[in-house]
């Protein structure tokens, strides 16, 4: 399952990016011939790491049902990766020579003959083909048929407190189909879901922020509360608006005119048009024009309970309102997935690429790297590469749990932000001063201490880590060439002497304590009435649409020509004045805000809770001068948007 986070290069090395073909995949797993299956090739990565001999609970019943997807490699998988690299590299002669969706499909997509051969193989094993898309062939059938098709036994394995089905050995396919098949998913039935890590409860019931507030950073000092970090601290921001964010990140007069941004999440808020229009009117944003906000939705939704569907409504609301606030003239297309499962999210991304719905795609969801299996990583990378050759850039939030140790017990990054083919967006705490002046930023990282009963001290100061921008070094993705020479070796080689992908690439506002104000129709405490209400929100799910909107401004600055996969261009500007070089202690003294919350989340009847929230305390991650694993190369400054102008 994937989660929505409210609150994610000059050339890409081939080792980091070639998709799996005939058993080879981007994570560096070599192709291998199946010695025990003559004339068959292994589909590396199809046996999950948790399917160990120790966890084996025995064979799955032959009559149990399997639903799987066989992803198609297309005509020239290696050529797709190579062209995606060249077209994205400002130093390449092919830079910016994008293909249309039709041209990309014709040049790199699967042929009718390949699809027919794959279908014939699957049906001959006794599986039923249930669907064919440009990306995969979906099938259903019993375990016996799946075992015959994929040359492996399916067993039940203990995974934590649950038992799931998975291949007992690496799946394989007939060798003559190796060039046609990328990978297969669905042979294991452990949940593959995304989640949203917004720093609020799901907004089915109204959520409100208690005051006092600051209208800009430092405007309201908590003079009656105890000192923290050497002095009095300000109250948390009520919620920045688009005007303040545009000023902070150097929007200038750009509005994103002529550019379209896509947003992918699961499900769809039934009140998004009303909420977005109401919010824009209340906060001075340009009114939405007819056709400016579009939605592309599935015919039906699934897994609504497992995915907490209503909790995703706030994610869509944040993403849509943030993009419009920063790029008020840009078109916005919301592409809702049928659920938070990886397969459905892949379908949503595929729609963007297949129909070129936008040049810029904001994605505020993900899961820890350890939960992503190599088969899914290969399927995601193929979509991202197809997007790159069409001039489409994907922006993913990097996560809201810092190094993930507190949440998962293991230091790791999130996926798909770990892909070498996406722009991972990290997060900051942002200080905007009077008359919308940019003051400073820290890396986003929060330690929370509570006010004592007598109000004279902070009981557990500085408190425990609660949240922070995701980042760190991948364990599975090789170092892309665009990071070489910019990312310090201590980070790149933290998990391997050969070097790995480091997250994030760039950053923007994320800290909920210096967050963004959103407006959404929510259910009132009586459980019956619904009404529009506003609240402050943050997370790297705010950072991702903010950067996507800034990229829309940059695309406008270059005359509307798509930026495409932006990482090579982003890293080419590293160390220049177009970025704020964010550090954790920009003022030389500790920074924090005071925050007062309703205990019940919506009014004072349940009491108030007062706390001090630190800025710049992100688990084991640190924002330092130069590139770092909290903010990447930094945040956009004055000059960033115009640096994309063609000269």
Chain centre to alpha carbon of residue 507 = 13
Query: Nearest Cα to 20, choosing from 460, 452, 377?
Result: 377
pLDDT band at 34 (very low <50, low <70, confident <90, very high): very low
Task: Note the pLDDT of residue 318.
Answer: 97
pLDDT band at 2 (very low <50, low <70, confident <90, very high): low
pLDDT band at 203 (very low <50, low <70, confident <90, very high): low
Q: What is the distance between the alpha carbons of residues 181 and 587, in angstroms, rounded to a whole number?
A: 55
Domain ranges of the chain: 18-192, 242-644
User: Is 284 a residue whose pLDDT tops 50?
Assistant: yes
Q: What is the distance between the alpha carbons of residues 29 and 47, in angstroms, rounded to a whole number?
A: 12
Q: Per the confidence metrics, is the pTM higher than 0.85?
A: yes
Query: What average pLDDT does the segment 286-302 reach?
Result: 97
Counted residue by residue, the chain has a size of 647
Q: C-alpha distances in angstroms, 187 versus 40, 172, 452, 554? A: 18, 12, 53, 43
503, β-bridge pairs: 472
Query: Nearest Cα to 459, choosing from 467, 470, 451?
Result: 451
User: Is 158 a residue whose pLDDT tops 90?
Assistant: yes
Task: Note the pLDDT of residue 526.
Answer: 85
Give per-residue pLDDT as tens, 166-200. Answer: 999 999 999 999 999 999 999 999 988 777 655 44
Q: For the chain, give me the number of helices (H) and strands (E)?
A: 14, 31
CATH number of the domain at 242-644, please?
A: 3.40.50.200
Chain centre to alpha carbon of residue 557 = 25
Q: What is the distance between the alpha carbons of residues 588 and 40, in angstroms, rounded to a whole number?
A: 63
User: Is 29 a residue whose pLDDT tops 70?
Assistant: no
Give per-residue pLDDT as tens, 38-54. Answer: 589 999 999 999 999 99
Answer whether 304's CB lies under 8 Å from 498's CB. Answer: no
Place of tokens 């944003």: 285
Query: What average pLDDT does the segment 301-309 reach?
Result: 92
Query: What average pLDDT does the segment 296-306 reach?
Result: 94
Query: Nearest Cα to 88, choosing from 184, 10, 5, 23?
Result: 10
Q: 3-state DSSP call for residue 598?
A: strand
E strands, 462-569, where? 464-468, 472-478, 500-503, 506-509, 516-523, 530-537
DSSP result, 591-615:
EEEEEEEETTSS-GGG-EEEEEEEE
Average pLDDT for the chain: 92
Task: Note the pLDDT of residue 589.
Answer: 82
Tokens describing residue 621: 């991650």
Q: What is the distance between the alpha carbons of residues 546 and 565, in angstroms, rounded to a whole number?
A: 17
DSSP result, 273-286:
HHHHHHHHHHTTPP
Give per-residue pLDDT as tens, 418-449. Answer: 999 999 999 999 999 999 999 999 999 999 99
- The residue among 204 and 149 whose pLDDT is bigger is 149
Compute the CA torsion angle 318, 319, 321, 325 (nearest 10 deg).
Answer: 120
């Amino acid at each position: 399952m994937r989660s929505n986070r409210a609150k994610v290069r000059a050339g890409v090395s081939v080792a980091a990016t070639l998709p799996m073909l005939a058993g080879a995949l981007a994570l560096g797993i070599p192709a291998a011939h199946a010695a025990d299956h003559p004339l068959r090739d292994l589909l590396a990565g199809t046996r999950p790491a948790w399917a160990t001999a120790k966890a084996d609970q025995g064979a799955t019943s032959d009559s149990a049902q399997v639903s799987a997807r066989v992803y198609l490699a297309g005509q020239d998988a290696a050529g797709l990766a190579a062209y995606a690299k060249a077209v994205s590299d400002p130093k390449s002669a092919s830079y910016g020579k994008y293909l249309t969706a039709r041209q990309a499909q014709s040049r790199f997509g699967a042929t009718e003959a390949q699809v027919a051969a794959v279908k014939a193989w699957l049906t001959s094993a006794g599986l039923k083909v249930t669907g064919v898309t440009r990306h995969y062939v979906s099938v259903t059938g019993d375990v016996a048929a799946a075992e015959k098709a994929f040359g492996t036994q399916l067993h039940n394995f203990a995974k934590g407190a649950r038992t799931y089905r998975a291949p007992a050995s690496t799946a394989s396919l007939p060798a003559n189909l190796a060039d046609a098949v990328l990978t297969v998913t669905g042979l294991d039935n452990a949940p593959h879901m995304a989640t949203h890590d917004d720093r609020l409860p799901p907004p089915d019931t109204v959520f409100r922020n208690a005051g006092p507030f600051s209208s800009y950073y430092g405007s309201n000092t908590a003079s009656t509360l105890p000192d923290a970090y050497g002095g009095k601290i300000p109250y948390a921001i009520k919620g920045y608006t688009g005007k303040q964010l545009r000023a902070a990140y150097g929007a200038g007069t750009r509005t994103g005119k002529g550019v379209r941004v896509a947003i992918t999440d699961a499900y769809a808020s039934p009140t998004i048009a009303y909420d977005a229009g109401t919010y824009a009117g209340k906060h001075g944003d340009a009114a939405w024009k007819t056709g400016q906000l579009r939605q592309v939705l599935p015919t039906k939704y699934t897994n609504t309970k497992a995915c907490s569907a209503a909790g995703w409504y706030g994610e869509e609301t944040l993403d849509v309102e943030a993009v419009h606030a920063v790029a008020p003239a840009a078109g916005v297309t919301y592409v809702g997935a049928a659920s938070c499962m990886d397969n459905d999210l892949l379908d949503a991304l595929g729609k963007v690429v297949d129909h070129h719905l936008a040049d810029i795609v904001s994605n505020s969801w993900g899961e820890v790297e350890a939960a992503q299996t190599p088969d899914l990583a290969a399927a995601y990378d193929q979509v991202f590469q197809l997007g790159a050759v069409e001039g489409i850039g994907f922006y993913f939030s990097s996560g809201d749990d810092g190094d993930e140790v507190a949440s998962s017990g293991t230091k790791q990054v999130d996926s798909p932000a770990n892909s070498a083919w996406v722009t991972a967006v990290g997060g900051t705490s942002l200080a905007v001063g009077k008359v919308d002046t940019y003051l400073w930023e820290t890396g986003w990282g929060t330690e929370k201490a509570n006010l004592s009963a007598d109000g004279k001290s902070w009981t557990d100061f500085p408190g425990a880590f609660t949240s922070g921008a995701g980042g760190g070094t991948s364990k599975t993705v090789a170092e892309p060439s665009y990071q070489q020479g910019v990312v310090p070796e201590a980070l790149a080689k933290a998990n391997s002497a050969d070097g790995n992908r480091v997250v994030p690439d760039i950053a923007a506002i994320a800290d909920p304590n210096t967050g963004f104000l959103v407006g959404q129709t929510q259910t009132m405490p009586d459980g019956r009435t619904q009404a529009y209400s506003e609240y402050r929100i943050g997370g790297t799910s705010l950072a991702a649409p903010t950067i996507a909107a800034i990229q829309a401004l940059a695309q406008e600055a270059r005359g509307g020509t798509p930026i495409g996969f932006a990482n090579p261009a982003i890293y080419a500007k590293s160390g220049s004045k177009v970025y704020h070089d964010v550090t954790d202690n920009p003022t030389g003294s500790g920074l924090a805000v005071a925050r007062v919350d309703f205990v019940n989340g919506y009014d004072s009847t349940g009491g108030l809770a007062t706390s001090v929230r630190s800025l710049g305390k992100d688990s084991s991650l640190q924002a330092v001068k130069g590139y770092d694993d909290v903010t990447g190369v930094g945040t956009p400054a004055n000059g960033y948007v115009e640096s994309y102008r063609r000269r």
